[in-house]
Homo-oligomer: A and B are copies of this chain.
Amino acid sequence: MSSEFGKNLRVSVFGESHGPGIGVVVNGFPAGETVDMDRLLFFMSRRAPGNSRLTTSRKEADLPEFISGIRDNVLTGSPFAAVIRNTNQRSGDYRGFDDTPRPSHADYTAAVKWHGAADMRGGGHFSGRLTAPLCAAGNIAIQILARKGIRIGAHLSNIGGVEDVRFPVQPDEELLDMLNAMMFPVIDGEKGIMMQQIIQQAAGEGDSVGGAVECTAVGLPAGLGAPMFEGVESMLSATLFGIPGVKGVSFGSGFDCVSMSGSAHNDPFIIEDGVVRTETNNSGGIQGGITNGMPLIVQVAMKPTASIAKAQKTISLSQMKETEIEIHGRHDPCIAIRAVPVIEAVTALVLLDLLIGGQA
């Protein structure tokens, strides 16, 4: 069992929500690359809780301590390691779930798998908090990719059924800059207001709501990835499904392709400025598992937060009988918002891995 991913760039995440700390080890970051710490910390702040009424009111300092692989803000080549201390836990908020597993949390499956030894306070190793070190590592990848002309951006494409407009066939720098700077990134601001109303309503009812995130990578060379099981979709989906709460991953047209005809779905090749492109991008930038030079488009479905204030049916494992549970504490009414930078981070790490592996 491995909380790890990657081939030529290997990422390993560790930690439990209420233990001493969480962290990440990365093998394979290219030596000599400089890390802009201000940009890294701003990026991490996009994931951090407590930044808005729409997210949990918990505050986390979440400042990573760099243990190895970086010296004077330059990557040394040896394994990169960072640790984030856990300082703001209120374990009391999470008492009692060892016996009465929270619906749609990992309390029950962790108890079965780890024979009751799991430290599940605050969700333990399954907590969304584990995505903080992913963002630290991911932003380093984002900075390295940017120097190679590859830009990542993402927005909330759907919350509670309200859809943002989708990325254009060729997202420009300006759009990506804008989204990268937003705490609630949407392309169509009016849709964003509607989404926020839905979230506030759910929060007011002690409930939560699901959402989708669309992520793009622009500037990729053609030829990354491989046929069949080491294609870009395979590597990226495997990693995205490692983010807590992800229920679906699709590329390009995604599940919409189900009701499309081939003549509408196929992406005709064209030549623009002497470069091979496609007129549409239902392929999401990938054909046969390999990048074609068009923007990568991936969409991720995030389930509604499982921790809700409403009373819920569950069971007592010790007594093997049905009972009720109420979950207190501070929770995001919509985890999709803070998932946006996490999805960008993971996408960047997988793409950097593919770039290191080479096109051929």
Q: Which residues of A contact B (CB under 8 A)?
A: 1-5, 7-8, 10, 12-16, 19-23, 25, 27-28, 30-32, 65-69, 71, 74-81, 83, 101, 103-106, 108-110, 112-119, 124-126, 130, 158-161, 202, 207-212, 222-223, 226-231, 233-235, 237-239, 241-242, 244, 246-255, 257-271, 274, 276, 278-279, 282-284, 286-292, 301-308, 310, 312-315, 317, 320-322, 356-360
Q: Are B159 and A258 in contact (CB under 8 A)?
A: yes
- Closest 6 A/B residue pairs (Cβ): A106-B288, A248-B250, A77-B114, A1-B226, A78-B125, A208-B262
- Nearest-neighbour CB distance to chain B for A161, whole angstroms, equals 4
Q: Are B20 and A65 in contact (CB under 8 A)?
A: yes
- Nearest-neighbour CB distance to chain B for A14, whole angstroms, equals 4
What are the residues of chain B within 8 A of A248 when measuring CB–CB? 248-251, 254-255, 257
Query: CA separation between A3 and B291, bound complex, in Å?
Result: 16
- Nearest-neighbour CB distance to chain B for A25, whole angstroms, equals 5
Q: Are A268 and B3 in contact (CB under 8 A)?
A: no
Task: Beyond A31-B115, A113-B222, list 6 extra A-B contacts (CB 8 Å).
Answer: A76-B124, A108-B292, A159-B258, A209-B259, A210-B265, A234-B241
Of chain B, the residue at the smallest CB distance from A33 is B117
Which of B23, B78, B124, B255 has a CB less than 8 Å from the CB of A78? B124
Q: Are B110 and A288 in contact (CB under 8 A)?
A: yes
What are the residues of chain B within 8 A of A315 when measuring CB–CB? 269-271, 276
Which of B106, B161, B360 has a CB less than 8 Å from the CB of A287? B106
Query: CA separation between A287 and B257, bound complex, in Å?
Result: 28
Q: Are B305 and A262 in contact (CB under 8 A)?
A: yes
Give the secondary structure class of A's interface: mixed
Q: Are A262 and B212 in contact (CB under 8 A)?
A: no
Of A249, A254, A269, chain B has the most CB atoms within 10 Å of the CB of A269
Of A14, A83, A270, A292, chain B has the most CB atoms within 10 Å of the CB of A14
Q: Are A358 and B360 in contact (CB under 8 A)?
A: no
Q: Are B77 and A113 in contact (CB under 8 A)?
A: yes
Given known pairs A4-B230, A12-B27, the reply for A207 and B304 (CB within 8 Å) is: no
Q: Are B290 and A109 in contact (CB under 8 A)?
A: yes
Q: Are A290 and B247 in contact (CB under 8 A)?
A: no
Which of B78, B207, B317 has a CB less than 8 Å from the CB of A262? B207
Query: CA separation between A326 and B31, bound complex, in Å?
Result: 28
